[in-house]
Amino acid sequence: MDDAQDNDSSDGADFFLFQWDKDGCMDGTTESNEEASILIRSRADFVQKLSRLALDEVDDVCGDLHSVASRIGSPFPCQLLRSNTTNRTRNACHLKNDGSVEPSIGCIICIILDLWQRTNAVKKYMGSMAQCRGAGGDALREAGAISALLCTLWRLIVPLRAQVGKDVNEKIDVSLSSFLPTMASEPLTCNADMKPGVEEICNNHLHLQNDSLNVCDIAMNEFDSTTLDLAISCLGSLRDLSCGSALNRAAVLAWEPPSPTIYDEHCIENGVHVLSTYVRRYDQLKWEKILSLKERGINSNSNAVNSTTYSKTDRGEKELRLLTNVLGTIRNTSHSTPDVCQEFFNHGLVDPLVWRIMPNDDAQKYSNTQLTTPLPSSLPEASCPWRESCFRAAGSLINLAEKCPDVAHQLGSNRKLIYLLIETWGGVSAITVDPNKMNASTRRLPLLHLGLAAIINAAANGALAGGLDNIMSQVLEKEIIRKRVAQRKEEERKLRQTKQMP
């Protein structure tokens, strides 16, 4: 399963997308409407100034592909500050096209602008399928683009102390010490220690401060938004580079992090591990919760989520796009690549992927039941925001099963999961059981994916308690019929060619 129709582009300064007028204090109870209106205008003014700064101060990354890749994958300014504590001054942090910096004490505005410059470079040089396929993709790989993207993704999610030579076995609260926003259920207030290297605003950007609002909260929200944008862009480019190129997929597995890392008790030793880590970032967090994640300083009662309703936030939409992109990257990198598939399995990715499309409370349903009646659809409706993500997760599992027998055996032991994967492949008609209309119900089914065939065959060979049922049997029987028809047509074609020969 491969997909070449993904788009993650955005224009100009629109990357500042945490809208305070939508999720801000207007729904609070501690301020009057007039005070809230003033605060919202002040916040909007801050974001507008920051957008102008981004346009005025940040130059486009230019040069050959090697220079661009080097710039994208270089350490972040605050990493340089932490690893080199000498000659630190209170002067402004000046960003250059070659990626060099004059370190300040950790100006958050300078860091935001640096991250934005990287995001724009990724979008400009590897932001479309046309740039990442064929000869263009080969040129990007040879220039070090895959390594640069993975280095950036690694730096965004791995705690800084693990990146600068500290003890990798040290217990670190990964949710509070990585660059990406915390996944805590409650919104956070500003705390400079919660983000690496972020301490004050440098002299060049003091004019952004405003007595009527907490600049720290707003700046930290824009920092969170920018890190998400950068991760989304890097994953989108990596997804496109992995599509249709075995060499690029091999490069993902061959990549090694700048330093040995343990994240959440899992080693990160290659690019496959980085992708797995991004999926685990959302462990046990249901789709509704992801889409409702709040920014800093947002009233915790404003976007309440329960079992039946949810309210989208700007941050939540970005988090969902990030997860969708990483699932698409896993789907593409696992396509027809046995060593990559085995590494994903060894790193424990199968269980998180299964949970994403089939939460634990639904895992045992139909576990040993042989169905003889139509099965209701298990996939999200067409209008559901996470439908695309579910299909990518299911496609990833099918790709993994094709080249990794361990995955096929694990997936083949769960009846409900097999139904869901069959539906993903062939639609609702594929899980309709009607012996009187067997030919009609199977005529339009697509070519059986080898990964799905491996899963059903594993179920038939003992992985599934109770054996195959009518749904699974009809899929295999239809494929046998299709192969016989194709073989007969090929023989007839060869016979016609023989008769036409002089």
Query: For the segment 252-304, what is each residue's pLDDT rounded down to a tens digit?
Result: 999 999 987 887 778 899 999 999 999 999 998 999 999 999 887 654 434 44
Q: Where are the alpha helices (DSSP H) in 358-426?
A: 387-403, 405-411, 415-426
Tens of pLDDT, residues 138-158: 999 999 999 999 999 999 998
- What average pLDDT does this structure show over 399-412? 97
**What is the structure's pLDDT at 414?**
93
Element (H, E) at 262: strand 261-263
Structure tokens at 167: 């003890």
State what percent of residues in the chain have pLDDT above 70.
68
Please indicate whether residue 382 or residue 215 has the higher confidence score (pLDDT).
Answer: 382
Distance CA 391, CA 301 (A): 32
Task: For residue 163, name the pLDDT band (cuts at 50, 70, 90).
Answer: low
Which of the residue ranges 13-22, 173-182, 206-215 would you say has the lowest mean pLDDT?
A: 13-22
pLDDT interval class at 98 (50, 70, 90):
very low
Q: What residue type is 139 in one-letter code?
A: A
Q: What is the pLDDT of residue 200?
A: 65
User: What string of DSSP letters covers 70-104?
Assistant: HHHHSPPHHHHHHH--TT--SSPPPB-TTS-B---
Does residue 76 have a pLDDT over 90? no
Q: Residue 491: pLDDT above 80? A: yes
Cα-Cα end-to-end distance for the chain: 44
Residue (of 311, 353, 347) closest to 328 by Cα position: 353
Instruction: State the pLDDT confidence band at 6, using cuts at 50, 70 and 90.
Output: low
Percentage of residues in the chain having pLDDT higher than 90: 43
* Residue that the structure tokens 């990160």 belong to: 268
Neighbouring-strand partners of residue 428: none
pLDDT for res 166: 47
pLDDT confidence of residue 434: 55
Does 408 score more than 90 pLDDT? yes
pLDDT band at 221 (very low <50, low <70, confident <90, very high): confident
CA distance 379 to 401: 20
**Mean pLDDT across 234-249:** 97
Please determine, for residue 466, whether its predicted confidence score (pLDDT) is greater than 80.
Answer: yes
- In this structure, what token pair is assigned to residue 105? 């004490």
CB 198 within 8 A of CB 111: yes
- What SS3 class is residue 266? strand
Tens of pLDDT, residue by residue over 423-444, are 998 876 676 655 555 554 455 6
Closest CA to 277 of 288, 264, 289, 287: 264
340 token code pair:
């990559």
Cα distance between residue 397 and residue 331, in whole Å: 8
If one counts every other C-beta atom within 10 angstroms of the C-beta of residue 6, the result is 18
Q: How many whole angstroms from its chain centre is CA 130?
A: 21
pLDDT band, very low/low/confident/very high, at 396 (cuts 50, 70, 90)? very high
